[in-house]
Structure 1
Amino acid sequence: MNLLHHLRTLFNIRKQRQEPPVGTKPPVGGSLILHNVRIKIKVALDDEQWQWLTLMGWRRVDMRTNRRSYQLLSDVTTRKLLDKTERDQAHTKITAQNERKKRK
C-alpha cells in the first residue's frame, strides 16, 4: 500500500476528488470534513448552522468507510465554528491554515 502511494506520487497520477454532495444533517457523533480538516459533532446542529456549514463547503462523511487522514479540530475551535458571532473568523483561520499546509 505504501509503495502504491509513492508510485502514484512519483508518476503524478493522483486525481483531485470531487466534493461530496451536501446530504443530510449529521447526528451527534458524526463528522464533517472540509479538504483535509475534520470536525466531530458533539452537539445537535440547528438548520441555520447546517446551512451555513454546507455553504462554506463542509460535508458529512461516514468515517467508518473512509481511510483518508484528516486533521481533527479541537473542541474549542469547533465551538467557535458553530457560534454565530465567531464562525466567520474561525472559518477564515481554518482555511488559511489549510492553505499554508498545502503549500509545504
Structure 2
Amino acid sequence: MSHKPIATLSGFSLLGGIFAYTKFNSVPSLVGSFAIGSMMLLSSMRIRDGMEYGYEGAALSSAALVVPTLRRTIRTRLPIPATVCVLATASTAYYVRALGEFRRHAL
C-alpha cells in the first residue's frame, strides 16, 4: 500500500484549515487542521520508510478528520468541507484495509 493518499489528504487538511481561517476567522479550524495534517504527514513518512505504526497513524488521523468535516459539512453545506469529508472517509477505509492486509502478512 502507498503513502501517497495520506500525504495528499494532509495537504487538503492544511488547505481546508487555512481556508476556514481566512473565510470564517476560525482559529480552532486552523489549529485542528495543522494538528491532524501534521499527524497525517508523519504517518505518510513512516509508511514510506517502512517504519512501525504508519498504517495505524494514517487510519486514526483520517478517522479523526471525518468527524469535524462532517459536522462542518452539515452546518454550512459548502463544497470544500464536503470534499475533505469524503476524502477522509475514503482514506480511513483504505488504511483500515491496508492495516488488515499488513497484519495478515505479519502472522
What's the TM-score once normalised by structure 1's chain length?
A: 0.30
Query: Which one has more relative contact order, counting CA pairs under 8 Å at least 6 apart?
Result: 2
**Higher Cα Rg, which structure:** 1
TM-score, length of structure 2 as denominator length: 0.30
| Higher helix fraction (1 or 2) | 2
